[in-house]
Amino acid sequence: MSTTTTVTQAEPITAQSILRLFPDIDTSSAELDGHDAEQIRLMDEVCIVLDENDKPIGNFSKKIYMWTNTCCSHPLGIPGETGVELEESVAGVKNAAVRKLEHELGIKASQVPIENFKFLTRIHYKAPSDGKWGEHEIDYILFIKANVDLEPNLNEVRDTCYVSADGLRSMFEDPSLKFTPWFKLICNSLLFEWWEHLDSGLEKYMNEQEIRRM
């Protein structure tokens, strides 16, 4: 008697398959009813579609309030913010971070010089949401220490809060607060260790070549 085992693998995401694999994505104007002109304009930004090894395979447009990290750089599929090799990609993410810090928080580029950003690692994670939408990204983790002036963009940021490590742990225990799933995942697995070495010893965590799979 013999036993036959069939193994199926998920179809890889490619530039050719992205629309077919995600047919429910709808960026029609009807989805944006009730949003102001800037929010609608932001939906036209071209985002980078990556495969699971951080290789750009295409572009896509993007379409709720939770506590999260200071800023997500969301590099665009434009010159200066994307690249094939890691060094070029890291430089692009830093450029995008400067752009988004000003756009979201009103932080001037002069207060966050490119050369002061520290690249730690890349994280590949999946975080399903409502069965239709979710997060599936490769995140570049950047640290910067800076004295900045905040002028939050109310179309992007509802509130801001400076916290200590212990203060953030306390916030996680408050059931009335909601956090982006990937931020909480990174905090509980990596961030607090990095935080302990922010002023001394962070170098040993910097410039990782491998992608961490979460």
CA dihedral 119, 120, 126, 132 (to 10 degrees): -30
Backbone angles phi, psi at 116, to 5 degrees: -90, -10
| 214 neighbors 185 (Cβ within 8 angstroms) | yes
Look up residue 130 and give its two tokens.
């409502």
| 159 neighbors 68 (Cβ within 8 angstroms) | no
Alpha helices in 59-127 (DSSP H): 86-105
Catalytic residues: 72, 137
The residue among 122, 154, 145, 148 whose CA lies nearest residue 199 is 145
